[in-house]
Amino acid sequence: MTLLKVENLHVQFTTPFGIVRALRGIDFELDKGDIMGLVGETGCGKSVTGRSIMRLLDENAEVTEGRIIFNKTDLLRLSEREMHAIRGDRIAMIFQDPATALNPLFTIGGQINDVLRAHSPAPAAQRRKATLELLASVGLPDPAQMMDVYPHQLSGGQQQRAMIALSLAAEPEVIIADEPTTALDVTIQAQILDLLRTLQRERAISVILITHDLGIVAETCQKVAVLYAGRVVEQGAVAAIFAGPQHPYSRGLLAALPRPGSRGTDLKVIPGNVPSGLERIDGCAFAPRCEFVMERCHRLQPPLFSLAAEHQAACLLHEDRVHG
Amino acid sequence: MAFLSFLFRRLGLSLFVFVGVLILTFIVSRVIPSNPAALYAGARPRPEQVQEIEKKLGLDKPLSEQFRVYVGDLLVGNLGESYHSRRSINTDLRLFLPATLELVIAAVLIALVLGIPTGVLAGAYPRSPFDYATRFAAVAGVSAPSFWLALIAQFIFFSQLGWLPLGGRVSRDATLFYPIAAQTGFYLIDAAVSGNWKAWLDALHHLILPALVLSAYPVGITIRMTQASMLEVLSETYITAARAAGLSRGVILFKLALKNAIMPALTVVGLSFAYSITGAFLVETIFSWPGVGKYVTEAVLNVDFPVIIAVTLVVTLVYILVNLLIDLMQALLDPRVRLV
Ligand SMILES: Nc1ncnc2c1ncn2[C@@H]1O[C@H](COP(=O)(O)OP(=O)(O)O)[C@@H](O)[C@H]1O
Ligand code: SF4
Ligand SMILES: [Mg+2]
């Protein structure tokens, strides 16, 4: 069942250098209870997508088109007051660097307590108990001691666990995790991803997992949307896409993944650069780097073509297969 | 524990600074005046007179012995005697210091109460009409000369409206009919302690204008400092995270952000407090406020070294205490500071 649906989302930023078109029509669906990956290179619009859903974009941002349907309501049409009631309570967010996402001057217990107090009228003793439970549920050792600890006294992994506890405080249905493991060591990364999977299973929380690492997607997600220059170029079940990527960009990304047994020299990197959001793009944004590029790729912007029940790709190579 | 050791280290440092200033003032007082005894004796003294005074002041003894006496006197709290008026400096300061402190503390409180919320809101709504209005007010407050503000304030609130008195700490009526029993020298405290509410109100009335005028600078600077550091703090990830967690705007601004943004404002207010002890003399003069500023200005004009040095030491002490307080506040606010 679809819980959250992003449709044709366009976001642009006004900057001194001109208008940056960060999102140029993002489409994807998050099913209830899934972990869905949003993957792509740095600057492709992953964080902007996440912040658009929370309606926490920077002041110079403007959503020019699109809808974000959550439980049948379009979040983009809610008043700020209505949206405020959703943040934390129904959709929560965790961030790339927990060291900067936690307030340095407040204890972990105090920060979680603030969130609890914002969302329920429970008395202080009950909030304290809830905080202890939350800290235990994210696998922090000695929750009672964690209450009075400041963020700088924790390791990166512990900080991210605390941040996850904080995001769980008001029992949200969706968690947007923006590169939650990028700032952490590899072994800690695996533990945090494990934790996210456990929470998803045990609490039926749906997760949008933003990452630039396809390896993480393969291990953690049921579905994935591959972003390129502010658009989704391929999406579907992780198994299907990893078995047979249908967009030249995702194919390139997968080929660049280190595989067991591969030597360093075998790694293929896609030549060329990502277009900047300042340029006007008429056709396929990937055309300048695509080895299959055709003449009409420069003119027509490829929509997402359905290739199978749970597999879509935005490449004109599939035009005939779909219509023919 | 970390906090206690932090406290002791800071106290040690303060002691070190104070001893430094002590030595410096001693050197200055014995080296700069070519002949202190002549100064003391007044115009055209006879040589025997000077010699007698030298003996009396201990100036005939070796420097090391003089320093011992100087420090010994200070240790028992004896600041000496004015060359000019021959009055005990202790007695004078007991009168003037509380008057100044009462005035300056009032000004600083006004600065904090008015400046911090204003700065928070200006920082929260950048480029709003409120932001521009407070910027203008802050710049005006910082750059307007205090004597000019004082005269304008007297013109409006005394001459035109007649709401507030022209100057002094209390009215003649209060002195005559319900005098304040001096204990601390802070009239608001003394009057309140003895339940003398008529005098309390009278003292408050007298305090308002000079305190407001004196607060113009710290208010302006508090607004600017708070606004600037709020602007910076509000762009931090933990603020986005707090918004994403559904915390209210009030909690985010006045609790989560302000705690991170308040330190620069507290620091400058603390320093302007210490500065105002002697720097308030224009305001004190215009409002006939019997304070340290006026006292030391006269001492400077009379080359009255013992008074200048006593006030220097007192102001040093205030600076040290204020700095200590600022450091302690920072350590209380920021757990990371206690580690350094
Ligand atoms: N506040 C902003 N002002 C201007 N451009 C922005 C702003 N925030 C993001 N962008 C642009 O939007 C694009 C997408 O950014 P982002 O979503 O952060 O990428 P990523 O996929 O790495 O998370 C980038 O080109 C970035 O420069
Ligand atoms: S549409 Fe054309 S340029 Fe774009 S990916 Fe497909 S083949 Fe390559
Ligand atoms: Mg990002």
- Model confidence over A64-87: pLDDT tens digits? 999 999 999 999 999 999 999 999
pLDDT value of position A273:
82
Residues 161 through 180 of chain A touching chain B, CB cutoff 8 Å: 163, 166-167, 169-170
- In DSSP terms, which residues pair with A257 in a beta bridge? none
Of the CA atoms within 13 Å of residue A67, those in its CB half-sphere come to: 10
Task: State the pLDDT confidence band at B167, using cuts at 50, 70 and 90.
Answer: confident
- B275 CB contacts (<8 Å, ≥6 apart)? none
φ and ψ of A276, to 5 deg: -80, 155
CB A277 less than 6 A from any atom of ligand 1: yes
CA of B201 relative to ligand 3 center, distance in Å: 61
User: What is the spatial distance between Cα B261 and Cα B110, in angstroms, rounded to a whole number?
Assistant: 19
The residue in chain A having the minimum alpha-carbon distance to the alpha carbon of residue B126 is A59
SS3 (DSSP) at B88: strand
ipTM attached to this prediction:
0.92
- Model confidence over B170-224: pLDDT tens digits? 888 777 788 888 888 898 998 888 888 998 999 999 999 999 999 999 999 999 9
Residue B240 with chain A: CB contacts under 8 Å: 51, 56, 95, 101
Q: Locate tokens 């600074």: which residue?
A: B17
| Angle at the Cα of A32 from the Cα atoms of A29 and A38, rounded to 5 degrees | 40
pLDDT value of position A6:
97
User: What is the spatial distance between Cα A37 and Cα A223, in angstroms, rounded to a whole number?
Assistant: 6
Burial of A141 (0-12, 13-18, 19+ CB in 10 A): exposed
Closest ligand (CA of A234): 2
Judged by CB atoms closer than 8 Å, whether chains meet at B336 and A104 is answered as: yes
pLDDT exceeds cutoff 50 at B244 = yes
- Model confidence over A232-281: pLDDT tens digits? 999 999 999 999 999 999 999 998 877 666 555 555 578 888 888 898 88
pLDDT value of position A322:
60
Answer for the pair B214, B273: CB distance below 8 angstroms, yes or no. no
Answer for the pair B273, B111: CB distance below 8 angstroms, yes or no. no
pLDDT exceeds cutoff 50 at A324 = no
Closest ligand (CA of A9): 1
Judged by CB atoms closer than 8 Å, whether chains meet at B245 and A166 is answered as: yes
Answer for the pair B165, B158: CB distance below 8 angstroms, yes or no. yes
Question: Residue B238 has which token pair?
Answer: 């933990």
- Model confidence over A294-306: pLDDT tens digits? 999 999 999 999 9
Answer for the pair A22, A12: CB distance below 8 angstroms, yes or no. yes
pLDDT value of position B2:
72
Q: Look at residues B112, B115, B134 and name the one whose alpha carbon lies nearest to residue B270.
A: B112
Mutate to test the pocket of ligand 1, among A14, A20, A60, A209 (most ligand atoms within 8 A of CB): A20
Of the CA atoms within 13 Å of residue A54, those in its CB half-sphere come to: 31
